[in-house]
């Protein structure tokens, strides 16, 4: 009897603190644990008793990589609780801000965190010594995303201009128009990015995922839509809790999500693309076709291509919004006074996938409960499934090679552990 | 300059949102230049090449919230010539320090069905409560320009030029209209340290204190003005107890407002 443990005690190039432990006895994978030891920060507890107007700024602090996603899900959930609708130009501006975050976050993952795995470098700094043009392109793209967030949100990390009902101040036409040149250049860089990553070598793997994402009648989903899945789920985001549930595992500070009665599922770029590729913009579709991207991608290593196509979409959508922009009459929609306890839930598409928020608000405007389900928490169980399959078919690899393969399999999903807890170390036990 | 002669940089994370270390990666125009001047010895968010200490400069993000973190910060301090804390979590406990005002067991029960699996301390505390800190860079998040200034100052062997004046000074310098005077909007600008660029007033919004207290904060004079502008004591308590709740001046103002709200 032989036992082998694969252990990564601190996974690199992911956001947050996690570890992986895999135990193999003879030739059977006995245990796969993606351990999230990122310390818990208890957001849902201390949101109780805060005023609803504080939720977008407070929940943004769950994650420095995708604060806009938290602000958007919080606003939409609270607007549903308050019975207000934010449409027209304000809705367009929200999409623009979200495009900025998608561009920044995806460019960060593609170039700084993920590309080194495919090209054989420990990081983008080393990669830049041999491929300076690639890293410069990634940084320029990332910078364009940040420029959108800075113009509209005030700053890239934890923007200050988002409020329930809209914005504190809407930009002038000139402020928005000034961004156009940089975003148009970013669109070309994004197309080059798709061609660049299409040249990577992808291990041949197919996983049988249940994909879960928003779907909107007209748009590639960012802020709104129904929650749909590749196995037929089609629900209003308010019914999330009826269909999905969170279970707590002893090895992790993140709660695992499962589709009730069905098991693990996947959210994020691969899921969005599988369910919504028909909603992509013309240039995004054209470049996806050019590099031969299949309409449903089941190879997690090819997620980097999907992310790149989404960056093209986000740049194109941003240019569209910039070109049509006229400042609205009022920067926000005023909420009516509340006279009874109320509840609201909503989901938006964070760069890493579906982000669900639900709140109970009392008549004084204070939050009685808050419930937040982050994308990486939803994906955690599914990532463990990927790892189990990977290790089972790669038992002949020596431990260092197998450990590296496991780390790559985790990075395929761009996990954000800060979100999920709300950290990653890999331990592989061979028995 | 040879690789071995470059100062060795470590970037470390404790309880936080990752936003302050991301600020370094957000220096798109300067990142590769910084990487030429220093040897990035340990920066796990960005690199899987992890070298052993010692470090010439350690940038520490996040607050101390678990027993394991207590041991790890002591180890990092022992390995580091200069230790700089970055951001509100590292300098003032961060938003997760709101647990210090509640019952952490109760908090764990709210979030987790099996709170016994959760390893956590009852408090979230700044790094300086546990080890000596050479410089604290404020902000939730920190400012890119200030971060580059701190790194450059360190490389040049000089003190960082990071003003401790109020947001009001920065706001005037930028020519923003005062949101208190013009719109009657409550604003923490007078008691908050500058560095952000006075962005909130620039967006017609009151400052909410994410850089923590300025060097001579007169919260006693500001609070009556906040009340006059319509904030009740519980709202005043909440605004001081947000991202820098453990910074002494904000803590005192928050505690005073709490007394007033529950006589």
B19-28 pLDDT, tens digit each? 999 999 999 9
Do B17 and A418 count as a contact with CB atoms less than 8 A apart?
Answer: yes
Judged against a pLDDT cut of 90, whether residue B71 lies above it is answered with yes
Enclosing H/E stretch for B163? none
Nearest to A36 by CA among A22, A20, A51: A20
Where residue A382 sits, what CATH number does that domain have?
1.10.645.10
- B3, B13, B19, best to mutate vs chain A, most A CBs in 10 Å: B19
Sign, CA dihedral B188-B189-B194-B195, equals: positive
Whether the bond into A56 is cis, omega within 30 of 0: no
Last residue in a domain, options B156, B185, B203: B156
Looking at CA atoms only, how far is residue A289 from chain B in angstroms? 31
Judged against a pLDDT cut of 70, whether residue A351 lies above it is answered with yes
A362: burial class by Cβ within 10 Å (0-12, 13-18, 19+)? Answer: middle
Q: Between A and B, how many residue pairs show a Cβ–Cβ distance under 8 A?
A: 186
Are residues B29 and B136 located together in one domain of the fold?
Answer: yes
Judged against a pLDDT cut of 80, whether residue B177 lies above it is answered with yes
Q: Tell me whether residue B60 is in a domain.
A: yes
Residues in chain B closer than 8 A to A17 (CB atoms): 13
Are residues B46 and B172 located together in one domain of the fold?
Answer: no
Do B28 and A135 count as a contact with CB atoms less than 8 A apart?
Answer: no
DSSP A110: I
Give the contacts of B101 (CB within 8 A, at least 6 positions apart). B241, B245
Are residues B175 and B93 located together in one domain of the fold?
Answer: no
Return the higher-pLDDT residue of A21 and A146: A146
Looking at CA atoms only, how far is residue B58 from chain A in angstroms? 18
3-state helix, strand, coil in chain A (%, to 5): 45, 20, 35
Q: Tell me whether residue B248 is in a domain.
A: yes
CA A385 to CA B136: how far, in whole Å?
A: 42
Q: Tell me whether residue B162 is in a domain.
A: no
Residues in chain B closer than 8 A to A106 (CB atoms): none
Are residues B68 and B102 located together in one domain of the fold?
Answer: yes
Nearest to B28 among A128, A143, A169 (CB): A143
Q: How many domains does the structure of chain A reveal? A: 1
Q: What is the residue range of B133's domain?
A: 3-156
Are residues B106 and B127 located together in one domain of the fold?
Answer: yes
Sheet of strand A226-229: strand arrangement: A212-215, A226-229, A234-235
Last residue in a domain, options B156, B185, B209: B156
CA B35 to CA A124: how far, in whole Å?
A: 10
Helix (H, G, I), strand (E, B) or coil at A354: strand
Are residues B89 and B35 located together in one domain of the fold?
Answer: yes
* Predicted local confidence at residue B3, as pLDDT: 47
Do A169 and B19 count as a contact with CB atoms less than 8 A apart?
Answer: no
Q: Tell me whether residue B161 is in a domain.
A: no
Q: What is the residue range of A236's domain?
A: 3-430
Are residues B152 and B180 located together in one domain of the fold?
Answer: no
A211-255 pLDDT, tens digit each? 999 999 999 999 999 999 999 999 999 999 999 998 877 666 667
B77-110 pLDDT, tens digit each? 999 999 999 999 999 999 999 988 877 677 767 6
Do A125 and B28 count as a contact with CB atoms less than 8 A apart?
Answer: no
Judged against a pLDDT cut of 90, whether residue A296 lies above it is answered with yes
Are residues B141 and B176 located together in one domain of the fold?
Answer: no
Parallel, antiparallel, or unpaired for β A18-25 and A28-36? antiparallel
Do A65 and B25 count as a contact with CB atoms less than 8 A apart?
Answer: no
The chain A residue lying nearest B61, using CA atoms, is: A16
Q: How many domains does the structure of chain B reveal? A: 2
Last residue in a domain, options B130, B156, B182: B156
Do A64 and B140 count as a contact with CB atoms less than 8 A apart?
Answer: no
The chain B residue lying nearest A137, using CA atoms, is: B28
Are residues B78 and B109 located together in one domain of the fold?
Answer: yes
Nearest to B15 among A39, A132, A157 (CB): A39
Are residues B140 and B174 located together in one domain of the fold?
Answer: no
CA B162 to CA A237: how far, in whole Å?
A: 46
Looking at CA atoms only, how far is residue B156 from chain A in angstroms? 22
End-to-end CA distance of chain B, in Å?
A: 65
Q: Tell me whether residue B191 is in a domain.
A: yes
A183-198 pLDDT, tens digit each? 999 999 999 999 999 9
Cα angle: A107, vertex A350, B50; to 5 degrees = 50
Q: Structure pTM?
A: 0.95
Do A41 and B95 count as a contact with CB atoms less than 8 A apart?
Answer: yes
A273: burial class by Cβ within 10 Å (0-12, 13-18, 19+)? Answer: buried
* Predicted local confidence at residue A426, as pLDDT: 41
Do A51 and B238 count as a contact with CB atoms less than 8 A apart?
Answer: yes
Are residues B98 and B54 located together in one domain of the fold?
Answer: yes
Longest Cα–Cα distance in chain B? 65
Q: What is the ipTM of this complex?
A: 0.94
Are residues B178 and B49 located together in one domain of the fold?
Answer: no
Nearest to A54 among B113, B117, B238 (CB): B238
CA A412 to CA A406: how far, in whole Å?
A: 10
A371-419 pLDDT, tens digit each? 999 998 899 899 999 999 999 999 999 999 999 999 999 999 998 766 6
CA B135 to CA A277: how far, in whole Å?
A: 49
A76-124 pLDDT, tens digit each? 999 999 999 999 999 999 999 999 999 999 999 999 999 999 999 999 9
Where residue B147 sits, what CATH number does that domain have?
3.40.50.700
């Amino acid at each position: 009897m032989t036992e082998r443990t694969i252990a990564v005690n601190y996974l690199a190039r992911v956001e947050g603190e996690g570890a992986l432990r895999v135990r193999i006895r003879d030739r059977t994978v006995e245990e796969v644990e993606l351990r999230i030891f990122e310390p818990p920060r208890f957001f849902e507890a201390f949101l109780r008793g805060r005023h609803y107007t504080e939720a977008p700024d407070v929940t943004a602090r769950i994650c420095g990589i995708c604060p806009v996603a938290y602000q958007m899900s919080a606003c939409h959930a609270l607007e549903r609780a308050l019975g207000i609708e934010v449409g027209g130009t304000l809705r367009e501006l929200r999409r623009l801000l979200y495009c900025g975050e998608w561009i920044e976050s995806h460019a960060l993952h593609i170039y700084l965190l993920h590309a080194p795995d495919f090209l054989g470098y420990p990081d983008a700094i080393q990669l830049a010594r041999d491929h300076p043009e690639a890293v410069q392109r990634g940084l320029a793209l990332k910078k364009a995303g940040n420029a959108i967030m800075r113009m509209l949100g005030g700053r890239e990390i934890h923007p200050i201009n988002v409020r329930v009902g809209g914005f504190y101040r809407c930009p002038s036409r000139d402020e928005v128009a000034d961004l156009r040149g940089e975003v148009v250049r970013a669109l070309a860089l994004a197309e080059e990015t798709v061609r660049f990553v299409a040249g990577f070598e992808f291990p041949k793997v197919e996983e049988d995922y249940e994909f879960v994402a928003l779907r909107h009648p007209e748009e590639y989903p960012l802020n709104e839509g129904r929650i749909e899945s590749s196995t037929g789920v089609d629900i209003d985001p308010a019914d999330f809790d009826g269909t999905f549930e969170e279970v707590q595992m002893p090895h992790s500070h993140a709660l695992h999500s499962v589709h009730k009665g069905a098991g693990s599922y996947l959210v994020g770029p691969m899921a969005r693309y599988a369910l919504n590729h028909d909603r992509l913009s013309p240039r995004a579709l054209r470049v996806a076709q050019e590099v031969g991207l299949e309409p449903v991608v089941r190879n997690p290593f090819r997620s980097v291509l999907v992310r790149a196509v989404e960056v093209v979409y986000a740049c194109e959508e941003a240019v569209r919004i910039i070109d049509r922009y006229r400042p609205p009459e009022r920067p926000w929609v005023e909420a009516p006074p509340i006279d009874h306890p109320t509840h609201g839930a909503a989901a938006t598409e964070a760069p890493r996938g579906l982000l669900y928020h639900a709140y109970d608000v009392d008549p004084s405007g204070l939050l009685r409960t808050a419930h937040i389900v982050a994308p990486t928490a939803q994906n955690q169980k599914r990532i463990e499934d990927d790892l189990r399959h990977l290790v089972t078919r790669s038992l002949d690899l020596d431990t260092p090679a197998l450990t590296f393969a496991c780390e790559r399999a985790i990075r395929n999903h761009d996990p954000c552990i800060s979100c999920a807890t709300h950290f990653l170390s890999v331990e592989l036990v061979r028995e | 300059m040879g690789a071995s002669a470059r100062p060795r940089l470590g970037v470390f994370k404790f309880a936080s949102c990752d936003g302050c270390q991301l600020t370094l990666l957000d220096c798109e125009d300067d990142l590769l230049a910084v990487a030429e001047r220093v040897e990035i010895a340990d920066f796990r968010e960005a690199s899987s090449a992890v070298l052993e200490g010692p470090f010439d400069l350690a940038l520490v993000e996040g607050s101390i919230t678990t027993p394991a973190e207590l041991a790890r910060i002591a180890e990092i301090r022992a390995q580091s010539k200069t230790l700089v804390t970055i951001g509100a979590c590292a300098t003032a406990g961060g938003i997760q320090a709101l647990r210090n005002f509640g019952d952490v067991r109760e908090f764990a029960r709210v979030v987790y069905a099996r709170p016994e699996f959760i390893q956590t301390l009852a408090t979230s505390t700044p790094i300086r409560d546990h080890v000596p800190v050479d410089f604290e860079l404020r902000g939730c998040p920190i400012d890119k320009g200030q971060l580059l200034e701190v790194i450059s100052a360190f490389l040049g062997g000089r003190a960082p030029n990071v003003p401790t004046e109020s947001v009001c000074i920065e706001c005037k310098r930028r020519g923003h209209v005062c949101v208190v005077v013009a719109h009657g909007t409550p604003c923490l600008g007078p008691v908050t340290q500058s560095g952000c660029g006075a962005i909130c007033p620039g967006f017609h919004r009151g400052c909410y204190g994410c850089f923590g207290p300025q060097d001579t904060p007169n919260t006693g004079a500001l609070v009556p003005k906040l009340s006059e502008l319509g904030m009740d004591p519980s709202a005043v308590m909440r605004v001081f107890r947000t991202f820098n709740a453990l910074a002494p001046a904000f803590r005192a103002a928050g505690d005073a407002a709490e007394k007033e709200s529950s006589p």
